[in-house]
Amino acid sequence: MYGLIGKFKAHPGKRDDLIALMLGETPEMLGCLSYVVARDPKDPDAVWITEVWDSALNHKASLQIPGVKAVIAKAMPLIAGFESPQETEPVGGVGL
């Protein structure tokens, strides 16, 4: 399995818009086992994304899906910055 944890900083006051976009328009993605969007309780502009995939290859391929590209294009104006994503190797857990 392949995991990715990322943190986005929305422009002030745009976090809920970013979250709604990421949850509302995300198409089905082959190999995606888990996709969780979370608010950072200590930072009113931060959003955490936690993903689990069956492979890094399917994650990379998902970035070429037209619907994913469209969500990314709509999200970019809402995003003020990114922290370096962290790759992980999930080994199991509830829901996997």
- Identify whether 96 is part of a domain: no
Q: Three-state SS across the chain?
A: CEEEEEEEEECCCCHHHHHHHHHHCCCCCCCEEEEEEEECCCCCCEEEEEEEECCHHHHHHHCCCHHHHHHHHHHHHHEEEECCCEEECCCCCCCC
For 46, the domain range is 2-88
* pLDDT tens per residue across span 45-71: 999 999 999 999 999 999 999 989 999
Choose the weakest-confidence range: 2-6, 28-32, 41-45, 84-88. 28-32
The CATH number of the domain where 65 resides is what? Answer: 3.30.70.100
Q: How many structural domains is the chain composed of?
A: 1
- Identify whether 94 is part of a domain: no
pLDDT of residue 28: 82
- Identify whether 63 is part of a domain: yes
**What is the value of pTM for the model shown?**
0.89
